[in-house]
Amino acid sequence: MSDESAARATAITDLSTSFTNSLGEAVGAAVTTFNQAISSETEARAQAITDLSADFTNALGVAVGAAVTNFGLAIADESEARAEQYGLVTARLDNVDGGTASVEQLFSAQADALGNLSARASLAVTAGGVWSGITVTAADGSRGPISDITMSAMTINVSTAKLIFNNGAVMKVLGTGFGVGNEFIDWFGPSMPFAQCSRTNGTVWQTITGDAYFGGSLSAGALTNGGQTSSIGPDAIADTGGFGSNGGKITVVMSWSYTWTWTVRYPGTTAGRDQFDNAAANYGATSADGYGYSGTRAETGSPTLTLAREIGGAGRIDVATASISPGSGRFQGQRPLPAGGEEGYADFSASWSTSLTYTDPDRVITDRRFLATLARGFTPSVGAVSQRVTIITTEE
């Protein structure tokens, strides 16, 4: 029993004796009952105070019963206030300019009526407007277990010790010289005794002399994958190949470009001139001087460019198809002159192009592959062809 409790028990015993002499054995017995109730748990004390209040009310009237009730409430308030006071130690200094320097140390241990337990210890120092401190907290209650250390400081100085993060499989250690040869200031790798940390078994490390090594995979900026084909066949595929993802936004751009050119020479004869005129008419070609001709036309055809995707080992599926406008045909040449036997020529060309941008809706860390597939639908019998099918993916 503490000194405070002993003193309180003696005081109440004396009070019991006084009431016994003045008011009789009934009132004294009621006070003795109150003395015994104080040493019980909180609920028993509250009940005893209520019973005592009733006894006093019966013996001396409502006024005395109310006084005892107020006394019981005062005891509870006093206990709570004293716990806070005894758990807090403060040193404070105020200077003449109004600034304050202080040191506060707090210890707190609590258990509520529901059985929730918590404990906290903190140390805080202030000087003017600068504050530094640490709080250690543990709790086991209805909100789940809590184990926390909170620090607030501009600088944390670890001069001779080590700062360790270890989950049992891998660990990261910061120190002023540890491992083989005491050469590391920073080391990451498999969990092991500090003395065995070395350059060969570390995944990432930095030495006290400035040497450093990074053995993991590094992602910097956007992840880009792509493929391109220059096949001139009517069916062509550009393939990114399989690639990994960080789960970010993946944008796919595919495109197709096609160019066909052919040059024809016409003899300087009437037949050669007629052949030129027929070809020019197919393009609606006109001339300003009767000698040089040029014209254009829309090229027919039904090419398709389709985007397909494979993800996570699943089968290939088409996810988008590009819209392709009619191609552009062009005629440019010089008309033969039969009177002078001067030959003529014509340059024919045709071109198609299209592109499509697609955003992958699945932002997951899963390997995938994209393919751009061209089905041109036509093959020229003469002339030269240049063709490109391209696909590029970018993950932000």
Residue 350: helix, strand or coil by DSSP?
strand
Question: Which of 368, 392, 385 has its CA nearest to residue 303?
Answer: 385
Band of the pLDDT at 111, cuts 50, 70, 90? Answer: confident
Distance CA 183, CA 191 (A): 18
In this structure, of 18-32, 151-165, 181-195, the range with the lowest mean pLDDT score is 18-32
Write the pLDDT tens digit of every residue in 354-379.
999 999 999 999 999 999 999 999 99
% of residues, the chain, pLDDT over 90:
49
At 15, is the pLDDT very low, low, confident or very high (cuts 50, 70, 90)?
Answer: low
pLDDT score for 4:
53
Angstrom CA distances, 220 to 207, 213, 368, 396, stand at 24, 17, 20, 10
Question: In this predicted structure, what is the pLDDT of residue 84?
Answer: 39
**Token digits of residue 180:** 């083989």
The amino acid at 216: G
What mean pLDDT value characterizes the chain?
A: 81
- pLDDT, position 39: 45
Q: pLDDT digit string (tens) for 294-344?
A: 999 999 889 999 999 999 989 999 999 999 999 999 999 999 999 999 999
pLDDT at site 213: 86
The pairing of strands 117-127 and 130-141 is antiparallel
Asked if 344 and 336 count as a contact pair (C-beta separation under 8 A), the reply is: yes
Token pair belonging to 15: 């009070």
Please spell the DSSP secondary structure of 371-388, one letter per residue: EEEEE-----SSSEEEEE
Domain boundaries, the chain: 3-86, 95-152, 163-214, 223-395
CA-closest candidate to residue 256, choices 388, 384, 393:
388
pLDDT at 264 (0 to 100):
98
Helix 3-23 and helix 25-38, axial crossing angle in degrees, nearest 10: 170
Q: Edge-to-edge strands of the sheet including 235-239?
A: 235-239, 368-375, 304-311, 317-321
Res 80: pLDDT: 43
* pLDDT tens-digit series, residues 260-293: 999 999 999 999 999 999 999 999 999 999 999 9
